[in-house]
Amino acid sequence: MSVDSPSGRGHPAFPETLWSKVIALRTGSETEASAALATLCQSYWHPLYLFVRLRGYGMHDAQDLTQSFFAFLLSHDSFRNVERERGKFRTFLLTCLENFLVNEWKKRETEKRGGKALVISWDGLDESALVVADRAQSPPPEKLYDRTWAVAVVKRVLESLKKEYGRVGKKEQFCILKQFLPGALSTLSPIEAAEKLDMTRSAFDVANHRFRHRFGKTLREEVCQTVRNPADVDEEIQYLISAWTEASPLDSGRSK
């Protein structure tokens, strides 16, 4: 199932993104690249934490290892080895984490390196995905990682849209319209949704179309931050949407 989004064709140039700033560390500003990396890590630590948990580590050890991993990234030249022409932040992080766990599994204490340690707030920690992982036919850790990554991306997009709609007094409209996104679990029919919003059915269809368009545009902007090559954007969007629709057991609050 696809989501309305503008095509990347015809755009004058691929904009500078957080990930491109990280890769540009070879020739650019270390301060700017480190700040970009820190922002990306803060946004997407949760899928990595769950991956560590699925490797058999307990909660506190997994928290220490995830924290240490990001401190390691911020104080080493790991991202200098990424090819400039291609690379997705999602796959780069997982490869680095797997190598880190192999090399660092004996070091169980969180290290603060060079004053650049990234402090993660565990307030939003959600381990519901681990319940799914305990099932007989659970997906491999790498697949679960992709699903929780997709959920994290979509949550960031929805939070952005929630603020956008809230600023113009349309918070209720947002809460209802997001239920009609691909993979969402709507409890309302379009007619019922229109009635709740005091709209005609045709007006609701227009509002829904506009919301899907905004969702697609905002999703594209978010994904652009995590890929290097503009040719990867559409492929990554479709993959993440597919992973998100498979991840409904991981995100029971998605339709609230």
Q: What pLDDT score does 93 carry?
A: 86
Q: What pLDDT score does 180 carry?
A: 92
**CA 256, CA 25: separation in Å to the nearest integer?**
41
Query: pLDDT grade, residue 189 (50/70/90)?
Result: very high
Residue with the larger pLDDT of the pair 138 and 60: 60
Q: What pLDDT score does 36 carry?
A: 77
Query: pLDDT grade, residue 8 (50/70/90)?
Result: very low
Question: How far is CA 24 from its chain centroid?
Answer: 22
Cβ atoms < 10 Å from Cβ of 164: 13
183: left (phi over 0), alpha (psi -120 to 50) or beta: left
Query: pLDDT grade, residue 69 (50/70/90)?
Result: confident
For residue 238, what are the contacts with CB-CB under 8 A and spacing of at least 6? 2
**Highest mean pLDDT of the ranges 39-48, 98-107, 121-130, 214-223:** 214-223
Greatest pairwise CA separation for the chain in angstroms: 63
Query: pLDDT grade, residue 226 (50/70/90)?
Result: confident
For 6-20, 68-82, 206-220, which range has the lowest pLDDT when averaged over its residues?
A: 6-20
User: With 60 as the cut, is the pLDDT of residue 13 above it?
Assistant: no
Find, among 15, 46, 48, 16, the residue nearest to 32 by Cα. Answer: 16
User: With 80 as the cut, is the pLDDT of residue 171 above it?
Assistant: yes
Query: pLDDT grade, residue 216 (50/70/90)?
Result: very high
Query: What is the mean predicted confidence (pLDDT) over 58-84?
Result: 76
